[in-house]
Each structure stands twice: as structure tokens, then as C-alpha cells.
């Protein structure tokens, strides 16, 4: 039996003129055709309340009377079964990123939710780590389900009998952001979010609700009426205006709090060249105990690609594909109430990828007439190399390019300590450079020719500590088949033991269980015979 949950709220009352008998008959016929549900009559039931509970409109009780051929609507016999027209609607999964599942009452997965799926009244939804799901209703109200959240679509009433609609979502765990399309003033509670500790009822606004050990609600637009789950004379509600929030626990609603100010993101970089990870740091907000952040590409921050939380005023996440993005950050106060949100626009520029460095190896001096060598990059038109006396490359001593090959012949460079870096020239946009590699130290010494040559490794300079990478190597630039795939714990790969030939190697940075996008392929030529030496992981066949 499908029993709707009332949560102690009075029946919904419409603010529209009752339809004509002919129009009402058509609506009844349409509802019956759409399906019915069965209700077992209990003591105290009446058609008015049943119509309010199941159909969202107490004045639709004649529909139930007609469908069940009830001669006396004032006398319902307990234990008998009634058919009630099913008035419900679906909600659309308008955006899905990461893992979102439809689950049963026990939490077992029924199916993975995909973009465009229609969810029904009573469905239970769970999202995974760093995942995001937007649910759009018929009136374009949107419920944004953040990561690690568990919700149930308690009630979705949208039909000709319920012109303003009713939407009730039960938030068991996690966080939601909701934008509600305004409804007529007389329908003040057409959207509700219910938590174990409180009920947030709105007519048209934007607000956030989170559930952990307590539930916290904040309002940035409009207003929200807050009620305890079972309101009574001693447990009155409170009205939140824009700029206010409240926390609720088993002891009831707390005091209304002003929202924290938006974080200051003005000093964050706007251009990120070839970032291994995305790392942002901002000044702590006074009174902030935690920060929630999300990243999207659209102006409205609807299509969120990453959302997470941090106890420090910082965010670290895997890099993303090249493009323009928006970072949004808000602070939570000691009650867990989200404050105002700040946004920052930034651009990721990673392609064409910078070459890796081959020679000289790190720590190996080079003669003032020696040759700097680096790996070619698949798709690059040429290369641009710089040498400077400082690691910010303000004092250049060499600025050469475009180079046809990824190497450079020094010309009597004076002894001393330098830095060098290389960029690829974009083949599709003539003359446009990709990002430079991170500066690598370079020592020029007249005695360098007497030192043994360190060979067999390609390397790159990383700004990260304890960085981890996934390296893939293939004979094909399409990577349709792999020679090997391996996790690296330092910014270098061994190439000496590869059999002779050309190899394509691409790299992605790991962060815990998440991986960023793969780089362009670097090309490694190995020019020696396979002499039976013990092979590295690169040339061992994949199992």
C-alpha cells in the first residue's frame, strides 16, 4: 500500500476556482486512466482528507466517490479498500556528474541514474563522492543534490487537479541547494524539504539544506518558513529572511543566525598553465569552521563537475580538461550553516603539453657547448626553449624558437647556475605556445665533459610533494593498445630498458582515488638492441 507521508502538516488547500462539472469529469477520467492506488480505510478516514493526502487537493474528493461508487461519502467502513486516482508526476535528471543511483528502502542499488531519466514519487536517490545531480520539476524549480547525499522524493503532485503543484523531498543525509520557482501567494508551501530535525517550506526562493548530526538551512534569496517535524503549541516555527540561517537538532529549532560573508577569492590565479592538480588557497572567513566548494563551466553553476568540502581555507582536486571554469566557495559557521558564496573564474591551459626533459639529467652538469635534449610531443609543430638566471625567467640568456627538434645546442654559455624550460608550439594555431614546463635547474661547468653521462631517464619538474601519476605507454599515438600502465611515485620514468623503437607515453596525476585528464603523448625514441637485459615495467606485456 502506498501511504503518503504527511509529517504533521495540514491538508493543502488550493487557491484556484473549482472547475466546471464537465472539466472535472475529464480530469477524473484522465487520472483514472493514468492509474490508481489502493487505500485500506482506517477509523477516522474521510474522502476530504484522503483526497488531500493522495491527490494534493481536498476538493477532489468527488473523484474518489465516483470511482468507488460510494453512495454515502460520510460513511466509510474501516477495512474496506478504496481505489484512488493516482495524481503524481515525474522529475527529470537534468544534469548528472559522477555517481548517482536509484536505491531501494534497504539502500541496495536498483540502477544508475543517467541524464534525462525520469524519477517518480517515492523514489530514493543516493549520490557518491564528488558527484552531483540536478532534478528539474515541471515548473523549472531545481533541486541540486550534492555529493554523499541520500534523499527520497516523498511527494510530486503536478497535474490539472493540482495547478500549483506540490513537491516534498525528504533529506536523510547530505546537502541540497534548491531554487524554487515562485508560486501564487496563497500557495505558500508548494515546495518542502523535510529533514529528521525540521521542515523547510517555501513558495519561491533559493536556499540550502544540509543534514549531519544537525540540519542546517540558509537562505540567500526570498524567505523560508521553518517548522519542527511535528509542530505544536510549544514548538512554533520561524521565518528565515534572505541573509539568515538556522540549525535544528532533536531539541528543536535553534536561533536564527546571520549568514557568514562570502570568502575573498580575488587573489586566486585566473590562468593555470598545465596544472598537475588544481590548488586554491584563500583567506579564512571570520567565524568559518568549514568550506564547501564546487566547480562548473556554465554561468549559472548548474552543471557542477566537482563539489567537496574542506576544513581549511583551501581546495585541492585533480585537474580538468582545458577550458574556462567557475569556482564557487562558501564558508560554514560553527552550527554548520552555509554562508554567502563567492565565485572566481579561471582558465586551464594544458595543451599542447610541455616536453619532458632528457639531457642533462637532474644534478648533472653540462658543458657550455653541450646539447639540451627533451622529448617531442605528439601533434606539436615545434618547440620554444628558454634559459634564465632566475626561476621566474625575468632575466633571460636564451630565448630560442621555434625549434624544429626538441633540442638546443649551447654556444659558449658561461659557467654558472641557470634554469631552463621548454614549451610546445601548437600545430593547429600557428605560433601559439602551449604551457612551459616547470623550471629545471641547469649547471654549466667546464669540467662537465669529464663526468659520466647519466642516461636512461626522462623527467619533469613538479611543484607537488608526494605526487602520484598514472603513466600509459603505447606503440600507437591513439593508445588503442598499451604496452604497459603503471603508477609512478616520482616525476620521472625509466626508458633505458625499452626495446628499440618509438613509444608514446601519456601521463595523468592521481589524487587519492581520483585521476585527472591524460596529457598529450610524449614521444620517446629508443635506439639500442634488446640484449636480453631485465626489462622494466614499460616493456612487460600487460596481463
3-state SS of 334-403 is CCCCEEEEEEEEEEEECCCCCCCEEECCCCCCECCCCEEEECCECCEEEEEEEEECCCCCCCEEEEEEEE
Contact 202, 222 (CB under 8 A): yes
Name the domain boundary from 63, 85, 107.
85
- Dig out the grid coordinates for 215 from the structure: 540540519
Mean pLDDT lowest for which of 9-23, 105-119, 427-441, 529-543?
9-23
Q: Could you read off the pLDDT of 450-461 as tens digits, one per residue? A: 555 555 578 999
Q: Decide if pLDDT at 184 tops 70.
A: no
Q: Mean pLDDT over residues 193-206, rounded?
A: 85
Based on the fold, state whether residues 215 and 120 are members of the same structural domain.
yes
Last residue of one domain, picked from the residues 200, 226, 258: 258
In a domain, 71, yes or no: yes
pLDDT digits (tens, 9 = 90+) for 478-521: 999 998 898 999 999 886 777 888 899 999 999 988 899 999 99
* 440 in any annotated domain: yes
Task: Verify that 150 and 212 share a domain, yes or no.
Answer: yes
Contact 327, 344 (CB under 8 A): yes
Judge whether residue 542 has pLDDT over 50. Answer: no
| 286 phi and psi angles, rounded to 5 deg | -60, 120
On whether residue 341 sits in a domain, the answer given is yes
113 Cα distance to chain centroid? 15
- Give the chain's domain count: 5
CB count, 10 Å around CB of 35?
Answer: 11
- pLDDT (tens digit, 9 = 90+) per residue, 80-95? 999 988 776 789 999 9
With a pLDDT cut of 70, the percent of the chain lying above it is 84
Query: Quick check: 191 pLDDT over 80?
Result: yes
Instruction: Answer whether 474's CB lies under 8 Å from 481's CB.
Output: yes
Domain containing residue 67: CATH number: 3.10.350.10
Give me the CATH number covering residue 400. Answer: 2.60.40.10
pTM greater than the 0.85 cutoff: no
Domain assignment present for 100: yes
| C-beta neighbour count of 431 within 10 angstroms | 11
Query: Is 24 domain-assigned?
Result: no
Per-residue pLDDT at 296 exceeds 90 = yes
pLDDT of residue 319 exceeding 90: yes
Q: Are residues 172 and 278 in the same domain?
A: no
Mean per-residue pLDDT for 249-258? 92
C-alpha cell at 230: 511535528
Which pLDDT score is estimated for 528? 63
pLDDT bucket at 438, cuts 50 / 70 / 90: very high
Residues 119 and 204 in one domain: yes
The answer to whether the beta carbons of residues 369 and 411 sit under 8 Å apart is yes
Q: Name the DSSP class of 116.
A: T
Side-chain half-sphere exposure of 507, counting CA atoms within 13 A: 27
Pair (98, 230) in one structural domain: yes
Q: Is-contact 279 269, C-beta < 8 A? A: no
My answer on whether 63 and 105 are in the same domain is no
What lies within 8 Å, CB to CB, of 416 at 6+ separation is 389, 443, 444
Which pLDDT belongs to residue 266? 97
Summarised one tens digit per residue, pLDDT across range 134-143 is 999 888 889 9
Residue 330 grid cell: 562558501
474 shares its domain with 488: yes
- Asked if pLDDT for residue 376 goes beyond 90, the answer is yes
283 and 209 inside one domain: no
Domain-located, residue 202:
yes
pLDDT of residue 456: 58
pLDDT of 185 > 90? The answer is: no
341-364 confidence digits (pLDDT tens) = 999 999 999 999 999 999 998 888
N-to-C CA span, the chain: 52
Mean pLDDT of 312-321: 95
Mean pLDDT of 20-41: 53
Judge whether 413 lies within some domain.
Answer: yes
Model confidence pLDDT, tens digit, residues 156-181:
876 555 445 578 899 999 999 999 88
| pLDDT in the model for residue 488 | 93
What's the pLDDT at 232? 55
The enclosing domain of 167 has a CATH number of 2.60.120.1440
Name the residue range of residue 54's domain: 36-85
Do 474 and 443 lie in a common domain?
no
Query: Is 60 exceeded by the pLDDT of residue 21?
Result: no
What is the pLDDT at residue 123?
94
Kind and range of the H or E element at 477? none
CA dihedral 489, 493, 499, 505 (to 10 degrees): 100
pLDDT of residue 22: 32
Alpha carbon 191 to chain centroid, angstroms: 25
One domain, residues 221 and 298: no
pLDDT at 248: 93
What is the band of 10 on the pLDDT scale with cuts at 50, 70, 90?
very low
- The answer to whether the Cα torsion of 49, 53, 57, 60 is positive or negative is negative
> Same domain for 499 and 414?
no
Listed in sequence order, the residues at least 6 apart from 254 whose beta carbon sits closer than 8 Å to its beta carbon are: 246, 247, 248, 335
Q: Report the pLDDT value the prediction gives residue 451, as an integer from 0 to 100.
A: 53
Mean pLDDT rounded to a whole number for the chain: 84
On the question of pLDDT at 1 being above 80, the answer is: no
Residues in the chain: 543
Please name every residue paired with 81 in a beta bridge, in sequence order, or none if there are none.
Answer: 40
| Residue 208: strand pairing partners | 177, 218
- 31 within domain boundaries: no
Relative orientation angle of helices 61-68 and 21-34, to the nearest 10 degrees = 70
Do 250 and 124 fall into the same domain? Answer: yes
pLDDT in the model for residue 480:
94
Please state, in angstroms and rounded to a whole number, the distance separating the CA atoms of residues 486 and 480.
16
- Our CA angle for 175, 181, 185, nearest 5°, is 115
Amino acid at each position: 500500500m502506498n501511504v503518503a507521508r504527511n509529517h504533521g502538516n495540514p491538508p493543502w488547500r488550493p487557491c484556484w476556482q473549482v472547475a466546471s462539472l464537465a472539466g472535472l469529469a475529464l480530469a477524473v477520467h484522465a487520472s483514472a486512466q493514468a492509474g490508481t492506488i489502493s487505500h485500506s480505510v482506517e477509523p477516522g478516514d474521510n474522502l476530504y482528507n484522503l483526497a488531500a493526502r493522495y491527490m494534493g487537493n481536498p476538493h477532489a474528493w468527488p473523484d474518489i466517490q465516483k470511482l468507488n461508487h460510494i453512495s454515502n461519502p460520510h460513511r466509510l467502513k474501516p477495512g474496506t479498500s478504496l481505489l484512488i486516482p493516482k495524481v503524481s508526476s515525474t522529475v527529470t535528471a537534468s544534469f548528472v556528474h559522477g555517481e548517482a543511483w536509484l536505491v531501494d528502502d534497504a539502500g541496495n542499488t536498483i540502477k544508475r541514474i543517467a541524464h534525462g531519466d525520469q524519477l517518480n514519487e517515492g523514489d530514493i536517490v543516493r549520490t557518491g563522492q564528488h558527484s552531483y545531480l540536478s532534478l528539474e520539476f515541471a515548473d523549472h524549480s531545481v533541486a541540486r543534490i550534492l555529493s554523499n547525499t541520500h534523499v527520497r522524493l516523498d511527494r510530486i503532485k503536478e497535474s490539472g487537479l493540482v495547478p500549483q503543484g506540490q513537491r516534498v523531498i525528504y533529506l536523510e543525509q547530505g546537502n541540497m541547494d534548491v531554487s524554487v520557482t515562485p508560486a501564487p501567494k496563497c500557495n505558500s508551501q508548494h515546495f518542502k524539504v523535510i529533514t529528521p530535525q525540521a521542515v523547510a517550506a517555501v513558495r519561491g526562493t533559493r536556499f540550502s539544506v544540509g543534514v549531519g548530526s544537525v540540519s542546517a538551512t540558509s537562505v540567500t534569496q526570498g524567505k523560508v518558513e521553518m517548522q519542527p517535524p511535528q509542530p505544536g503549541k510549544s514548538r512554533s516555527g520561524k521565518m528565515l529572511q534572505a541573509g539568515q540561517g538556522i540549525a535544528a537538532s532533536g531539541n528543536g529549532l535553534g536561533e536564527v543566525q546571520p549568514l557568514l560573508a562570502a570568502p575573498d577569492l580575488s587573489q586566486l590565479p585566473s590562468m593555470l598553465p598545465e596544472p598537475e592538480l588544481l590548488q586554491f588557497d584563500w583567506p579564512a572567513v571570520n567565524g568559518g569552521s568549514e568550506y564547501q566548494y564546487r566547480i562548473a563551466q556554465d554561468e549559472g553553476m548548474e552543471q557542477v563537475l566537482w563539489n567537496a568540502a574542506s576544513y581549511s581555507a583551501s581546495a585541492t582536486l585533480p585537474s580538468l580538461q582545458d577550458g574556462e571554469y567557475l569556482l564557487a566557495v562558501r564558508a560554514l559557521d560553527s552550527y554548520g550553516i552555509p554562508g554567502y558564496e563567492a565565485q572566481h573564474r579561471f582558465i586551464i591551459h594544458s595543451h599542447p603539453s610541455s616536453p619532458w626533459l632528457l639531457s642533462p639529467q637532474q644534478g648533472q652538469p653540462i658543458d657550455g657547448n653541450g646539447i639540451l635534449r627533451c622529448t617531442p610531443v605528439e601533434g606539436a609543430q615545434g618547440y620554444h626553449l628558454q634559459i634564465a638566471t632566475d626561476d621566474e625567467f625575468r632575466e633571460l640568456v636564451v630565448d630560442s624558437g621555434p625549434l624544429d627538434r626538441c633540442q638546443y645546442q649551447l654556444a659558449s654559455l658561461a659557467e654558472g647556475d641557470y634554469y631552463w624550460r621548454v614549451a610546445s608550439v601548437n600545430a593547429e594555431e600557428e605560433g601559439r605556445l602551449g604551457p612551459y614546463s616547470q623550471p629545471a635547474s641547469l649547471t654549466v661547468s667546464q669540467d662537465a665533459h669529464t663526468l659520466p653521462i647519466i642516461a636512461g631517464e626522462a623527467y619533469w619538474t613538479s611543484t607537488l610533494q608526494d605526487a602520484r601519476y598514472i603513466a600509459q605507454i603505447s606503440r600507437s599515438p591513439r593508445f588503442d593498445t598499451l604496452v604497459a600502465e603503471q603508477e609512478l611515485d616520482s616525476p620521472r620514468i625509466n626508458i633505458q630498458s625499452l626495446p628499440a623503437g618509438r613509444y608514446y607515453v601519456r601521463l595523468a596525476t592521481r589524487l587519492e582515488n581520483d585521476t585527472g585528464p591524460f596529457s598529450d603523448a610524449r614521444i620517446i625514441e629508443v635506439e639500442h638492441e634488446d640484449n636480453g637485459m631485465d626489462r622494466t615495467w614499460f616493456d612487460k606485456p600487460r596481463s
